[in-house]
Copies of this chain bind each other. A is one copy, B any other.
Amino acid sequence: MERELLLLGLLRQGEMHGYQLHDFIERNLAFCTDLKKPTAYALLERMAARGWVTVQEVREGHRPPRRVYRLTSEGEAVFQRLLRDNLARFEAAKTGSDVGLAFVDALPRAEALRLLEQRRAALTEQLAAFQSAPTHAGSYQLLIDHQLHYLRSELAWLDDVLARMRAGRLRLVSPRSTPKPKSKEASP
């Protein structure tokens, strides 16, 4: 749902064609959403079919005609609905990076430390890149602010974990406990 919210929101600022929309998202919003080109086109097509946007084929030269999308008033209504809905909810973010943490105890402490320090380096690098970005096209300040807050918070947590690990204060359960020891199933 939030992908259509995004597209509708961008189209509120004026008509645009598919490539333009995707390109803008890719350049400016890649850090908070990821929307590949074919997905964007498919969504636009569907939104057109539902009457949220109109399409107008524009051909210049003899390149394949560009399809220019424009928000309808119905689309605007949907935008309003989706926006209210989105703002009122909180959906926790998910990342693949979490999974590994579940299994750190499968590695010797020293190596785990080394790897997490690499992770920390990657994180500070992203943070730096983000901070030095040129006011990000001047727009979407809240998003940027949020992302900065998030990255800093992640860094703080990671540093805390590293400190605890170095001090040997990381309590981890025995890796032998079967996740669901319901019936017979002796631990192998």
Contact = CB atoms under 8 A, between A and B. Distances in A.
Interface of A: 1-3, 5-6, 9-10, 12-16, 20, 23-24, 28-29, 31-34, 79-80, 83-84, 86-104, 106-107, 111-112, 115-116, 118-120, 122-123, 126, 137-143, 145-147, 149-151, 153-154, 157, 161, 170-173, 175-180, 185, 187-188
B175 A13 contact: yes
Main secondary structure of the interface of A (DSSP, over half): helix
Given A93-B95, A107-B83, A141-B173, A5 B100 contact: yes
A30 to B, nearest CB: 10
Nearest to A137: B179
Q: How many copies of this protein are present in the complex?
A: 2
Residue of A154, A170, A179 with most partner-chain B CB within 10 A: A179
Nearest to A142: B101
Contact of A161 (B12, B107, B142): B142
Contacts of A173: 138-139, 141
A96 B2 contact: yes
A130 to B, nearest CB: 9
Given A1-B96, A24-B180, A171 B141 contact: yes
Contacts of A161: 142, 145
A107 B119 contact: no
Given A102-B140, A104-B142, A149-B157, A32 B179 contact: no
Contacts of A14: 178, 185, 187-188
